[in-house]
Amino acid sequence: MTPRAELSGAPTTGAGDAPEAPGVDQLHATVQRIAANVEQVLVGKPEVVRVALVTMLAEGHLLVEDVPGVGKTSLAKALARSVDCTVSRIQFTPDLLPSDITGVSVYNRQTESFEFRPGPVFANVVVGDEINRASPKTQSALLECMEEKQVTVDGETYPLSAPFMVIATQNPIEMEGTYALPEAQRDRFTARVSIGYPDVKAELAMVDEHAGHDPLADLQPVADGAEVQRLLQAVRRVHVSTEIRRYAVELVAATRQLSELRLGASPRSTLQLVRAARAQAALAGRDFAIPDDVQAVAIPVLAHRLVLTSEARAARRSTTDLVRQLLSRTPVPRGDTERERR
């Protein structure tokens, strides 16, 4: 079977070819252009767009979870098209196979040898539509790609081009024909975001602007792969003080002590939380992180990684509420977080 994939964009630029990283001011201006571009498609959801951009700057992967029809795929495709790089889209279905994602070795009669044919995962931005409609076996094909940015097929390892980002959409697991994502895969998504229904004003604006044409068809790139590489270099230079790092560690460690949770956040969560806080600081135009940056990304980064006990589910507790409670009772650093800047 061949996956239903759409490939577009320009050749990728490797990390070694990227010029000197821009300053925070230039980064902020570039990201604002991307945000404005995405908001042409996703009307009235600036917070959702913010989380998506933070995930991109944190060199992570984004999981968009919500009911059908609220713009999950539109968000993913709008962000992908705003950056002029290689993009692929995979429609996940129950009969999709792992090789339909990673690629397969095909026998060549002329050379009498096997040749590797790359799958749609070999792109800078991979849009996985309705990822939880495929079986767990197929979902697991993305594990190595997302964590190690490489693919292993028939004992051969193939590196993926940088930048690399997976933007996956999924329907709530209560809906028919869905498989719950394994904990290991959820943990590889840097952040999860739910779009939700728009308010009346935003929905009316959407009808006025989108009823006559598809805004995605008119969307033009406002950055390219090389520019994104430079942005990522700039984000890596954002300073995170010892106090902020300790604050992130304490937040994550506190999830492992909650009686309502069967599984707390992993050490990978701590790394992703710090990276996301660094990206949030850069998005705000600063070259150093503050406690507000950690708090701004804590729920999107941590909530989807936590597993409730059966008693907590019966009591209708949510992981989002638990993270919010931890934020309210974990001591916030009060020192000068800029003091340790390099």
Q: What CATH number is given to the structural domain containing 242?
A: 1.10.8.80
Domain count, the chain: 2
Domain annotation covers residue 334: no
Rounded to 5 degrees, what are φ and ψ at 231?
A: -60, -40
Domain annotation covers residue 217: no
* Per-residue pLDDT at 166: 93
88 plus 179 within the same structural domain: yes
53 plus 68 within the same structural domain: yes
112 plus 195 within the same structural domain: yes
3-state SS assignment for residue 267: helix
Residue 124, amino acid: N
312 plus 290 within the same structural domain: yes
* Per-residue pLDDT at 340: 47
Domain annotation covers residue 246: yes
Full residue range of the structural domain in which residue 88 is found: 15-212+222-232
* Per-residue pLDDT at 6: 39
Domain annotation covers residue 342: no
Crossing angle of helices 242-255 and 267-283, rounded to 10° = 130
228 plus 255 within the same structural domain: no
Is the C-alpha dihedral spanning 256, 262, 267, 273 positive or negative?
Answer: negative
Rounded to 5 degrees, what are φ and ψ at 140?
A: -70, -15
* Per-residue pLDDT at 13: 41
Domain annotation covers residue 10: no
Q: Is 97 left (phi over 0), alpha (psi -120 to 50) or beta?
A: beta
Domain annotation covers residue 339: no
288 plus 171 within the same structural domain: no
Query: Token digits for 277?
Result: 């806080």
Q: What is the pTM of this model?
A: 0.85
CA atoms within 13 A on the CB side of 94: 4
Domain boundary among 204, 232, 260: 232
151 plus 190 within the same structural domain: yes
Residues of the chain with pLDDT under 50: 1-18, 337-340, 342
Domain annotation covers residue 335: no
* Per-residue pLDDT at 24: 73
Domain annotation covers residue 340: no
Q: Is 149 left (phi over 0), alpha (psi -120 to 50) or beta?
A: left
104 plus 252 within the same structural domain: no
* Per-residue pLDDT at 311: 93
202 plus 295 within the same structural domain: no
245 plus 175 within the same structural domain: no
- Which residue, among 290, 222, 230, has the nearest Cα to 23 in the 3D structure? 230
Rounded to 5 degrees, what are φ and ψ at 151?
A: -130, 135
Nearest-angstrom CA–CA distance, 166 and 82: 15
32 plus 106 within the same structural domain: yes
* Per-residue pLDDT at 74: 86
- CATH number, position 169: 3.40.50.300
Query: Token digits for 211?
Result: 């009823």
Domain boundary among 181, 204, 232: 232
Domain boundary among 201, 232, 263: 232
29 plus 136 within the same structural domain: yes
Nearest-angstrom CA–CA distance, 230 and 24: 11
Give pLDDT tens digits for 152-204: 988 889 999 888 999 998 887 655 667 778 888 899 999 999 988 888 887 88
Nearest-angstrom CA–CA distance, 213 and 194: 25
